[in-house]
Structure 1
Amino acid sequence: MPGWIAENRDYLFFVLACLTLFGLLETWLRRRTPHGCLPWMAWPALGVLLCSGWFLVENGGQSESRRIQDFMQGVAPTYAQEMTRMGHAGLTLDTPPDDTNYQRMIAATKRWKAVNPVISDVYTFRKIDGVVRLFVSSETDYDRDGKFEGPREQRVPLGKEYPQADENMLRALAGERTFSDEPVHDEWGVWVSAQVPLFDEQGKIEGALGVDYPAEKWIAAISVGRQRMIWLMAVPVLILGFATATTGALRTEVDARRSIEKQLRESEARLRTAIDGIPFDVWVMDLTNRYVLTNASSRENWGECVGKGLADLGLTPEALKMWEEKNLRAFAGEVVRSEVFQMVDGESRLLHSIIAPVRVADKVLGIIGLNVDFTERFKAEEALRKSERRFALHVMQTPLAVIEWDTEFRVTAWNPSAERIFGFTAAEMLGKVATPFIVVESAREQVAEVWQSVINRRGGWRNTNENCTKDGRVILCDWYNTPLVDDDGRVIGVASHCEDITQREILEKQLRQTQKIESLGQLAAGVAHEFNNLLTPMLLRLEMLRADREGDPDLLAALRSIEDAIEQAAQLNQRILAVGRRSSGKRELMALNPVVDDTIGLLRHTVDRRIALDMKLAAGLGPLLLDRSQVAQIVVNLTLNARDTLLEKYPTFAGTDWIPRIEVSTTMVQAAAPVEGASYAPFMRACQRLTVSDNGAGMTTEVRSHVFEPFYTTKSPGQGTGLGLAVVWNVVKNLNGWIEIESQPGEGTSFHVYFPVPDAPPPVFLSGPPSPVAAVSSSVGNGLNILLVDDNIFVAETINRLLTREGHNVTYAQNGEEAWELCSDGKDGAFDLIMTDQNMPVMTGVELVRTLRKAGSTVRVVVVSGHLSAELTKELNSLGVNGLLAKPFTQKELMAMVAASVSASREQPRPSAG
């Protein structure tokens, strides 16, 4: 019983209010006249109305619950089919967190929750050894703040035990589709859930999928449905109360007329005046079925009816029969209440009709009727309900801040998203000028100009500026402003929609920097190829000249200096390629030191020569799962940041013995990621630490606390965006690392970047430039027929001359298409070896090899290039090339490659491109 009362307390309150109303009406009638009271049918009618109303209210709540249940049971099977298609049956307790299928399923659940934000969570589970365990359960933004913070919003580990499993979950695992309408409490909150079974490819049940809906919203929806019905019930109750009160008053007047004729005439006059003022139809009919009294509203709608009967009103046969039946029931002593649609002046109207007998001394002398036109009210209430629902959905649930201002820039409306973005509650902001609270000092003049433009309707509809939050953070926001204009054309306020685009700006900055590095990498690859085409013949002809002039020691010494310069140029060329290498978008197993060394080697040419740039790279560091371009981006941003602080300090110490210095170092350490507010000892693990230190101005504690915030900068205006270190923070976090700062004002700053060493790194294929060719006697294979393919005449002539001097017969083709013409139709048998450049017009080297293998050719092939990517190297190896020779190369390396290629074992059949 207490539970039923708690569930229906809203309707019980309504019943109490109705009883109170009728009690007040009864009291009023009794005080008005000694014998005044409500008609005896009023209380039974009220009882019937309230009892039937209870069923309406119950149905209103149940319809809302059924709507949510139908929605959840509709989407759950669709999600289950998607999980089955993605291979959910293949997941096991040993599936690693970075498993591709697992990650796809995690991403799918995030996408479903983004598409259907009313859903709290989508997850899968299985029963293993009698224990229900969660399998796919992604990060969930329960707080709807765009972040995944706190333990309850983090991804649930695969295989985590779920002790709150109820009967519905077990039934879903048995193959049933279930819905839990009783809220379930667990460590993530309180939910109602829909569960469906998951099947493997053989149609067997391998698990189940659940969809959670917040119990709080479930209960709130049921409450809204019930309250809607309660408000609907209030209308007939009020009509009944008013009608019965009016009827009681009329009966009192009739009694008074029978006793005193004078009072009768005065009462009749007062009654006529009163009913004429009633905004709905009131009429009285005598025992002859003739109208004896109508009010102004009735005369306006039906014309003058006094002295006429129903048949004289021009009603349709159906309407005439209906009203005659109701009147007969009233003449019989019944109070007849009904809602009917009646044509009035050619328009269908909704009328609430009450017809009651007029009694004197328990004798029926006539009937009185009231027709209350509910049409406009019904339409208005329905339109209002729809409008309020749309407005609530927009204002209360939109992720944008919706703020309204008066003409003095005072806040008049402040929605929940505004509270989330700026940190101030509506109570704190309503009625206040917003500038001191949410506008940074540097943007106030701009905001004032925009405000004046909007108020004066000259523009300013969209604006982007920096804002500040309650906790002091600076954010970047997009504002969409609309002046509110009344019927007279006056601006009475402004409505603004605001979006926090801080994170988007950081990601766009990071993307721009990544694209810049990748663009430089593509440019570097092309330039490097041309440099290598120049360096290759220079180096080879230098060796030929040295072989021809072995007896001239002075010349040989000079040639050695030239050779050293060529080798240094080749090394610089390779370093440019390594630093600017295009990012694949995924991590590879690689050593940290070479990436740092290549990046710093390139930066030495851009950093001010007054700054000492030192490196201390620890030996023996193992490989890590990294993205080369992201690591290079970290080194570049931290080094240039150190350069800027040193250049700011330099004028103060110019002429002293202070030397500006940047030191970049790596080392192996035991460290743990800091956990703010943790009451337990952090987990220590092996990490490789990258440190960028400077002896510049250092930082105060205040600066250190804000240094990674977007748009925060201590540089002069125009000298920085304030996004460099924020980008570094995001990149390090993306690589599963963390960053720490050591700094003292006046002493310098050290940024420590920690990269955790993987416990069990996955096997990957390391690829890179072709390995040096082992020394093989150049006498092997003399007199070979070699097809040389290269579009650079200078390179081709030099290689041709060297091969000819070694006794080989060389045929030259300027590109891959010419080479294919010489080899097609089985003519490749004329050549013992094809030596082709990779980067050529018309047909590249790899395209030539593909064409040869597709035609079934087994001719030996050596590919020469100044730059081969890992993907291209892997493809050439799969096509069965006999060697990869990197430009520039020496005469010894060239001859060794030719000898090694023709003498290599060919026991295994060569794969083809087809």
Structure 2
Amino acid sequence: MYDSAKTIEDLFEENDRLKQRIKELERSESDHCLAERALRNSAERFRSLVEATSDWIWETDYRGIYTYASPKVKDILGYEPLEVLGRAVTDLMPPGEAERVAEILAEHLERPKPFQRLENINLHKDGRIVVIETSGIPIINEWGHLEGYRGIDRDITRRRKAEEGLRATFKAVPVGLSIMKDRIFRSVNQAWCDITGYSDPEIIGRSTRILYEDDAEYERVGRELYPEVSEQAIASVQTRHRRKDGGIRDMVLTAALLQSEGSSLETVVVLEDITDRNRKEQDLRESQQFLRTIFDNTHDAIVVHDAEGRILDCNQKMLEIHDISREEALESSFLDCFPAEDSPGELQKKLWDRVMKGESFQFEQRARRLSDGSTFEAEVAVKRLVLANRPLILANVRDITQRKAAEAALREREETFRALVENCGDGIVRFDRNHRYLYVNRFVIEHTGFPLSPGEFIGKTFEDVGFSREICDEGHEIVERGFVSGEIIRHQFQQPDGLWLDVIQIPEKDDSGEVKAVISSARDITERKENEALWRVLFQAAPLAICAVGEDRVIMRVNDYCLRTFGYLPEEMVGRTARFLYFSDEDYRAAGEALYSTQYAMKELRMRRKDGASIWALVGRSYLDGTSDSGGSIIVFQDITSRKALEEQLRQAQKMEAIGQLAGGVAHDFNNILQAILGYTNMVLMSLGTEDRHYRKLKEVEKAGEKAAALTRQLLAFSRRQVLQLGPLDLNAVIDNLMKMLRRLIGENIELDILPGSALWKVNADRGQMEQVLINLCVNARDAMPDGGRLSIETQNAWLDDGVCARHDGAKPGRYVQMSITDSGCGMDPETKSKIFEPFYTTKGKLQGTGLGLATVYGIIRQHEGIVQVDSEPGEGARFKICLPVIESSEQELFEEETVLPPGGHETILMAEDDAPLRFLTEEILKMAGYRVLAAVDGEDALRIYRGHAQEIDLLLLDVIMPRKGGRCVYDEIRAVHPGIRCLFMSGYSEDALHTNFILTSGLKLIQKPFKPPDLLKMLRRELDGSRSEASPEDRRVPGVSQRASA
């Protein structure tokens, strides 16, 4: 390596090696000369290099005292080398700098280490400031101790001044400048900070990502800008930056390459804020678009021509009128739109010349459509303009075809209106401010009686025409009110001759709103006034509640019948909205929707009387004048409460009828099944002793069967399809016979009071059914008093009039026996009370009641043509009133107590039963009693057997309903040939074979299924013996009916 290519550090290292080598040579006598020569050569090379370099080379001891200074020190600091030796490093520096460097020097002397390019300020011998860049390495002896430092100083004063000038320029330039490396800020000027809002410390060392709205924009700029900078050395891109305060600005970035090292780029970037420029450009575009939009959307066609009349531009309306494209329009001229045939060509030329001289014209002319040559009426305004020293002609063209047509139509309407005003049936007059006539129509001329023509009225006052003082005064007052109020005024008055006039004053105002005239219309309403008087008479005399209401449903007038219907005084109804006639806001709203949705409406509504009572009304509404213009209406209320009650009774009767049909449909087959179960069970029980181990089990089967039979009879009873065996009955005796049972039934915690009526009339009733009613009502009362209470049963004679009977379907006025059952229980609310007679309705818990008890009571009493009433309030107990019609016959009921089992016999019985198990059971019962039995499977079979054994048969035992022929038909055919034949019918349910309206036909005997064998044998024996005595209360009950029923 050449010496000139070596660095100072290389020379220092080589010198050290030579020194080491000299020491080695000193150890060796033989090498001494060689070492001395090498040392001299090395020192010479070192001296030549030191003198050749432009830098100052120095050495210090371990205290920082110069021990060597190269000659270049004089060029840099002005000192001779000897003047420097022995002086401290800091002696050549200003005081402040000397202190700073002393701290650095102390650190390096304490912990020796190399240093490079440390800047410090020195004082030239002549006092000038010299900026030095110094580098040095420590000198370590063979013992590892610091001997000093050896280094080199370079004068960078001129470079530093250039850098400071460049930096000042960088900072002061008004364009945003930054120096960055790999998009990391190294330096920014003030303009950059002003644009971005960041200060210098906030941005230096940070990525340019902080200036972008999102990563996508940051990456886009990176992709588009820096590859081009790398290739072209300079590039630009538009982007959007986010300022520190969050504001978004439009920017142009221009980047120039400073240096590149592989993929690393150092660039200077110019930042230009173009937000305002973009905004101005956008404003300009929007302004142009705004003006163009207005230009294209004006009502008139706007056309710009050159001096020769060629079209240079036009708006959208021009294209629409002519139905052409813009290109077609730009190929046309003014004369194409207004051809010479509509006006002389010379006239057009003169007009054009005058326009070119600056005159403006507006005229109407027929124009020609450029698309098809058709013409239309046009209003044209032409004016000369000069733009950019270029004369232009601006033409506004308006299609006035419709306006022309409208003007013609207006003239026609005016003529029509004038004809209507002249010939209408009202007097039309127009007055000025001084009440002078400005116009009168023909009606006024004909009906005032003055010999004046229409023209002679004009300009005259009431007095000038000749009206009476009374009419003049009233006329002036009415007209003046029209001028003063400025409002439409309606007034009715009667003239001295009895003529009624309805006058409407209409103010006619000018543009400032001042009344300049009053138009008066007078109509003869004498006939209407007479009709109104008649209407008022009818309004009061009508047997309907009528009221007149306003648009807001405020009552304006009511008739007397309306007051009586709702129980109010006139002042309590007039002036109020009709809301108080309804129970709730929802009812009021629903009524409004129903009544006001059409011109005429009718609706059944529940209304409220003053006393709070509810009534049903058929409500009709109609507008007062037949239209909705007046807003007023006439409301008519017809009280239909009684009709609604009858309808409810009819619905209840229909419901009972439907359930009765259902009950009857199943009763026959169900009772046949129960007959077999109970019959065989009873026969087995009679054959067993009470101590038998199966006896109690069979008794439970029997009880279950009896309950099922009772349930079927209850279904038939509440639906009034139970066949009754009626007779004269004393209700006091019924109550007396049931006393012991009732006391056991209601329990010891309920006190029972019996209040029998004296000389009680007898009723035509079925004893068993009446006992059923009494038991059910007592059970119902017991359940209403779980903690005890008082139950009273009272009977009395009563007379029901038409008013009472009208509330109960089928009831007839006359004598009745009333039985009242009153309890002190929990009572009932109105909703419960309205449902208690419905089948299966119960207030008891699940599995605690069938819901048939009171329904059964209702069915039985209604079947007896009686009525049931209930009075109850919550917490006040309940009272059930049963009213039964009195029997007029004096026949007495006789009761027999049978305490022994009926005896059998040896007679012959013809038995007909279509159900095989029942037929076998009945046959076995009869045979066990000693009877001879002839069994038939149906009616035809029974007749066949009878014809073969007519002389042997003592009694007929017939099922009512059988295939081929029923029991009643069999009986009637046999009785026709054998009138004295005895017969007993069996039935689980009979539709109409043995009864009329479910009352047993006189002379017929019936045992209802399911029955017990003893009951059958009792009735057979009685019929065979011909006994006419009545059975005991137990016998008179329909066999199989349970003595306890569910309430």
TM range (shorter): 0.3 to 0.5
Q: Which has the higher contact order (CA 8 A, sep 6+)?
A: 1
- Compute the TM-score of the two structures, normalised by the length of structure 2: 0.35
TM-score by length of 1: 0.40
Q: Which has the larger radius of gyration?
A: 2
